[in-house]
Structure 1
Amino acid sequence: MIVLGIESSCDETAAAVVRNGCEVLASVVASQVAVHHPYGGVVPELASRKHIEAIVPVVDQAIAESGIPAKKIDGVAVTQGPGLIGSLLVGFSFAKGFAFGHGIPWVGVDHLEGHINSVFLEADPPAFPFVALLVSGGHTSIYHVTSHRDFHPMGQTRDDAAGEAYDKVAKMLGLGYPGGVVIDRLAAQGDPTKVVFTRPYLDKAEFDFSFSGIKSAVMRHLQLHPDPSPGDQADIAAGFQAAVVDVLTFKIIHAAKAKGCAHLAVVGGVAANRGLREAVTRDAAADGIRVHIPSIELCGDNAAMVAAVGYHRLATGERAGLDDDVYSRVKFRPRG
């Protein structure tokens, strides 16, 4: 089955063509980083306008690169939520029109479900059951995954998501937006023992997260040590990243042990973080747990992961209707 995936939940316009839920024939992402960089974050109105400009060229490019004619596409999968309503509506409306015009079925996909299924686009996917750490700018959660469509929440952030904390700390340091990449790069140049932040484990026996405290700790440090030099900035970034990575790594490995899983996955935008990838892989190996992390291009928002989920929904006969609508808040709940 050939599925066209469309993603427009935030500030990337993406389209992909995927065969049988696992073979990526083409994946195109149009980024808006340059548009939002001067504002230090995503401006919803600007994001919506840029999606309108990009959606047709991006879909056309994905179809052309796939080598599959539009008339040979079997179905469409599109992100339905959560996300920015204006942004979601652009992709969702286009998907409806494309499917209706070509007389093919279509389905809406939860963005978080897409991220979890992104590991199945790699050559060595995890075996069921496994635990997944979904960590991004808007979400930090752990799930027990028992099938492509059955996910059981184990824990989530009580306040800031990890990626959100990265962006806010980067802004405090005057490093610009987006903050995750620049802090990861800067942390590699610093010494994490120079500026040590308390690890916010909360209850080590449980799986919830909290990153607002460490964000506040960085702010207090900067109030006491204003105008840090480039070297000091690197040490602060290294100390901050070490604290966040230690907590994320401990919690996901603890979850795997608690569920008796031999496999774990780390997905979402923050899964591209070098420090996190290295720490989880190293520490999990010591416990005999196999780690699955998507390639960098599949960690961020993309349409290939949406098409992967869409394949499993379409294959079971699921269909969306023209009166279906998008949603902004998390609706992701276990089916089982």
Structure 2
Amino acid sequence: MKNAQQTDIFSLFNIEDEVAIKKKREEEERKKKLEEYKKKNAESTPEHLSSTKKKQEVKKEEPFEVNHETFIFHLGQQIPIQDYFSTEEIEQGLPSKKKDSEDVEFKKIDGNEVRKRLEKDYPDLLPAYTDMVYIKQKNMIMPVPKAKKKGLSIDCINIESSSSLQEGSFPSERVPFSLLREFIAISKHFEHFPSEVHADIYYDRATKEFFMDIPQQVAHTYWVERTEEPMVTAMKLMDRQFMKVGEIHSHHRMKPVPSSLDDESERQGGVFYAIVGKVESFFPSITVRVFDPSSEQHINLSPFLIFEDPFKDVPTEYDLTVVEVDNHV
């Protein structure tokens, strides 16, 4: 009788090799993610994006039909349209002289005109960062914050930040660390491709809670662009007393150093901008900053000013008196 050949000790004793099983499972997962990446990459083609846009047309922007009952929903407030437009303007429209003529024509109130009048009281409603949406079912005008294209640059990877902001110059509320942890987990998922990813962070004035939203976007190794239609965003936010407080995006395996594209895109006052990098590390790196419109400068912040410190509370079940601190050098 021929002796049966044994290739390893595990098969000899009919024992499962857990390490080999784990490696096999990881390889299958890697192949699965690779296929997902190929599919995602294909979905970023102009042909697919145009078809995706057609699907979104179900929630396309509705034409403005302003009347005396219309209200503006901003920062959790319902602002009557009469606060910014007269009765004549609401009923007849806005007077405008025809080109090369003294004749006057009347134009319907549109989103841009509403935004311009609101901007006097709400400087955050800049045209580059705001879409004005009219929701007919609620007879409501809603400013929707939008984000510009972000990206990293290989040339700026070794640049170090030096500016800072004094403690106490930012609101006392901190974004829960749980939201940052969730975003890092999402970034780690896309790090396998690798790809950047973007999220918006809001504060609900009614519930006094922060929440995060992942909008529709096109993500690439070196950039990420928010592509979600304004009406889609409005439908998600219209029942919340929200205010946008920040944007966060990842630089996957690269350092979280703002690129020139980030500098161009992140120029709205009143919100923070965070970048998470080196997400393959056990503790990823993070950069946080704000933009000061008056000085036209970005100001770097300590993450402790924005996010809760997960290590702040010392556990009480340990007797720390056993630790003798030697203050001598």
TM tier relative to shorter chain: under 0.3
What TM-score does the superposition give when structure 1 sets the normalisation length? 0.24
Greater Rg, structure 1 or structure 2? Answer: 2
Query: Greater relative contact order (Cα 8 A, min sep 6): structure 1 or 2?
Result: 1
Higher strand content, 1 or 2: 2
Structure with a larger share of its residues in helix: 1
> What's the TM-score, normalizing by structure 2?
0.24
